[in-house]
Amino acid sequence: MEMGQQLDRETVLVVDDEESLRDICQDALEDAGYKVIQAKQGREALQVLYGDTEMVDLVVSDLRMPELNGMELLQRIRQEQIDVDFLIMTGYGTIETAVESMKLGAADYLPKPFNISHLLLKVEKVLQERRDRKERHNLSNLVRLLKLSRDINSQLDLPSLLKEFLFHLERNFAPQGVGLFLKNDAGELELKTESGGLWREDPRVLSLCRRLALHVLDAREPKLADKYLLRVDTELKGVWNEDVLPYSIMAAPLLTQQGPTGVVTLLRDGQDTNLYTLDDLQLLTVFASQTSSSIVNAKLYGRMRQMNLEVIRSYAQAVEAKDIYTRGHSDRVAQYAVELGQVIGLGREELDQLHTAGLLHDIGKIGIPDRILNKPSGLTSDEYGVMKRHPEVGYSILSQVGTLQEVLPIIFHHHERVDGQGYPNGLSGDEIPFLARLVSVVDSYEAMTSDRAYRNSLSQEKVVSILEQNAGSQWDEELVQHWLRYLSNGNGNGIA
C-alpha cells in the first residue's frame, strides 16, 4: 500500500501561526491521501482535539506560537491523555529541545527548513508506527474480549454472571470503583452490584454514578468524564455541578435488541496519570455489548428456573399430601444433597441437579396406594414390591418433561445399593450413577432421623452407627465418610 493511501483516510492537524506554511503542508499532505485540518495556535488546536466531529491521528505543530506554544500544547495533550501522535517542527530547534519534546511524548522532531518529501516521510513513519501500535492493541483487546465471552457464556445464573463480569472489568481496566446498574421489572435503574474503595470513601460517588448512568441510558451512548472534559462537555454539567471533578469515570450502556437493560460505570481518582482514555471507553463499550445479551438471558434463565422449581415443588407437595409423615422430606433431602455436593466440591450444574432430584426423588409415590404409604406397621412382601415400583413410576412421569432429563437417572437409581442388592435394576458399585449414590446417602439419613408411620425417628448415635456399618455395602463408603465428617462439625440441620 502506498504512502498515505489507507482505506480510512487518517487525519493530520497542522498547527502553525504562519498561514502560508500551513497551506503548503495541507496541499502536500492532501496530495498524499491524508485529511488535513488547520489551527493557528495551540488553543485553537485543543478545541479541535476536544471536539467530537473529527478524530485526529497526528498533530504536526510548530514550536513557537502565541498564546499556547508547541511544547505547551504537547504537555496538555499528554496531561489530558488525548489519543493523538505528535510531530514537532521548528526553525529554532536544538538537541536539547528535541530531547525535551521526545521526553514529553513527541513521536518525532522535524527541523525547519524542510522539504516536502522530508515532511511526508516523517508523517508516514509516525503514522505507520501508530497503525502498528493500534493493531497490537486491537489484537490484545480481541484476546481480552474472547476470554470475556468464553467466561460469561459459561455462566447461566445472574449472580455468577455478574461476578464473572466484575472480575474481567477489574482485571482489564484497574478501576478503583465499579457500579453496575440494571433496570428492574418496573423499568427503574437500580444499583445491582458495586465494588471498590471509592464507593465507601466518598458518599457522593453513588449519586454521581447514578446520574451519569441515567444520562447514558437515555442517550444510549457511552460517556467519559474527568476534570478536563468537564470544562468543554456541557452535558456533564448536569451530572456534576461542582467546578472540579475529582474522578475519571467511564459509563457504557448495556444494549440489546429490545433496548437498554442497564449501565456499567468505572471510576478512578482524577490524577493526571490515572485518567481513562477514549480507547478505554471503546473497549468498555465492547465489553458491555458482549455482556448485555448474556444478562438478559440469565434473567430469563432465572425466571424459567424459578417457574420450574415451583412446578417441581408442587409435584413434591402432591406426594407429601398423601403421606403426612414425609412432609418436608423432599425439601430436606434436596438441602442435604446440595450440602454434601458442596463438601466434595461439585460444580453449579451438578448442585442444581442434586437439588432438583432431591425434591423429586419420591415423585413416583404418587402412584402408590395410600394404604401402603401410611400403613402404621411393616409392609408385607407384596406391599413392599408395590412400594419398590416408585422409582420406575417417577421416571415414567418425569420422562415427559424435557427440562428434567438430566435428573432422571438420579431419581430412577436412588434406591440401588453398591453391593448390587438394591432396586430397580440391581446395579452395583460404579454402575450406579454417582449423583444417585449421593442422594441415596442423604435420603436414608433423612428418613432415619424423621418419624415414619411405622416408627419414631432414630437417635443420632443410632443413625451414625447404621451408616458406618453399611458403608461399602448399602451406600458408597467414601460419600458416607464425607457426610459423617460434615455432621461431626455440627452441620446437617444443626445436629452435632
Contacts of 2 (CB under 8 A, 6+ apart): 33
Compute the residue count for the chain: 496
For residue 42 the three cell numbers come to: 495551540
21 within 8 A of 36, measured Cβ to Cβ: no
Tell me whether strands 177-183 and 108-111 are parallel, antiparallel or unpaired.
Answer: unpaired
Residue ranges of the domains in the chain? 11-131, 155-298, 323-488
**According to the model, what pLDDT value does residue 322 have?**
66
The DSSP bridge partners found for residue 38 are 14
Question: Is-cis flag, bond preceding 376, omega within 30?
Answer: no
Give dist(CA 390, CA 424) in Å, integer: 9
Q: What's phi and psi for 36, nearest 5 deg? A: -130, 135
Strands (E) in 233-373, as ranges, are: 247-256, 259-269
- Rounded Cα–Cα distance for residues 433 and 456 (Å): 31
One-letter amino acid identity for 31? D
Residue 331: Cβ-neighbour burial (10 angstroms; 0-12, 13-18, 19+): middle
* CATH number for the segment(s) 155-298: 3.30.450.40
Q: What is the DSSP string of 273-287?
A: GG---HHHHHHHHHH
Which H/E stretch holds residue 31? helix 19-31
Per-10-residue mean pLDDT, the chain, length 496: 54 94 94 94 90 82 88 88 88 71 86 88 92 79 75 77 89 91 88 87 89 92 90 83 89 88 92 86 89 80 69 71 70 94 92 91 86 82 91 88 87 96 95 97 92 77 95 96 91 52
pLDDT of residue 178: 93
* Structure-block grid coordinates of residue 430: 460404579
Query: What φ, ψ does residue 240 adopt, rounded to 5°?
Result: -140, 115
Q: What is the pLDDT of residue 3?
A: 43
- What distances in angstroms separate CA 488 from CA 242, 336, 457, 481, one per listed residue? 60, 14, 19, 10
Q: Torsions phi, psi of 223, nearest 5?
A: -145, 140
For residue 471, the one-letter residue type is A
* Joined grid coordinates for residue 353: 441437579
Q: Which amino acid is at 345?
A: G
- Helix (H), strand (E), coil (C) string for 355-388: HHHHHHCCHHHHHCCHHHHCCCCCCCHHHHHHHC
pLDDT at 371: 84
Cell of 376: 402404621
* Closest to 14 in 3D by CA, of 53, 52, 41: 41
Query: Looking at the DSSP assignment, which residues form a beta bridge with residue 264?
Result: 180, 252
Residue 494 has what pLDDT?
A: 42
Contacts of 149 (CB under 8 A, 6+ apart): 290
CA-based end-to-end distance of the chain: 77
DSSP-derived letter for residue 15 is E
Write the CATH number of the domain with boundaries 11-131.
Answer: 3.40.50.2300
Q: Where are the beta strands (DSSP E) in 74-233?
A: 85-90, 108-111, 177-183, 189-195, 223-225
Question: Three-state DSSP class for 247?
Answer: strand
Provide the pLDDT for residue 97.
75
Question: CA dihedral defined by 38, 42, 47, 50, rounded to 10 degrees?
Answer: 110
* Domain 323-488 coded CATH 1.10.3210.10: yes
d(CA 286, CA 411): 44
Cβ atoms of residues 157 and 306 within 8 Å: no
Half-sphere exposure of 184 (CA within 13 A, CB side): 6
Instruction: For the sheet with 177-183, list strands across it.
Output: 189-195, 177-183, 259-269, 247-256, 223-225
DSSP annotation string for 56-82: --EEEEES--SSS-HHHHHHHHHHTT-
Cα 457 from Cα 332, distance rounded (Å): 15
pTM of the predicted protein model: 0.54
Give the closest residue to 217 by CA, choosing from 240, 237, 239. Answer: 239
User: How far apart (Å, rounded) are the C-alpha atoms in residues 169 and 148?
Assistant: 9
| Residue found by looking up cell 455478574 in the block | 162
